[in-house]
Structure 1
Amino acid sequence: MLWNRIQKELNRQEMSIYKLAKITGIKDTTLHNYKKGSEPSFKNMCKIADALDVSLDVFRKENKTDE
């Protein structure tokens, strides 16, 4: 699941969903929906990747292994 990789990065950087929401401008309720399985838009994935300072490819690779 895509959220698993996001969560790994949040844990690695000791960042909360609330802080990610503040950095990205994405509502924390939206981020919680992603955690529950909703698919983020490309625009929001870019914001998340930028906030976590990782490449979008990191999330793409994780998604492929989850299928």
Structure 2
Amino acid sequence: MWRQVQIILDKRGKSVYWLSKQTGIPNNTLYQYKNNGVDPTFKVVCKIADALNVSIDSLREK
């Protein structure tokens, strides 16, 4: 999932810090998803999708 999030962030010129501020998810938690492959809960995925203004489906790995 994180690969898709990173692609969207890069296209928009946004950072993980920005995403943290938009979602209220701690920076450290987001980096756990990014660097350690930790899977977020459904609730967290919804927050990320809302912050990025995308559908949950667009965050799925292909």
Q: Same fold (TM over 0.5)?
A: yes
1:1-67 equivalent positions in 2, closer than 5 A: 2-35=1-34, 36-60=36-60, 62=61, 65=62
State the SS of the aligned residue for 2:47: helix
1:5-50 deviation line (CA, Å, top 9, x unaligned): 0100110111110010000000000000000200001011000000
Q: Which runs of 5+ in 2 are unaligned?
A: none
Q: Which runs of 5+ in 1 are unaligned?
A: none
Query: TM-score of the superposition, structure 1-length normalised?
Result: 0.86
| Bigger Rg, which one | 1
Aligned residues: 61
State the identity %. 49
What letter matches 2:44 in structure 1?
A: N
Query: TM-score of the superposition, structure 2-length normalised?
Result: 0.92
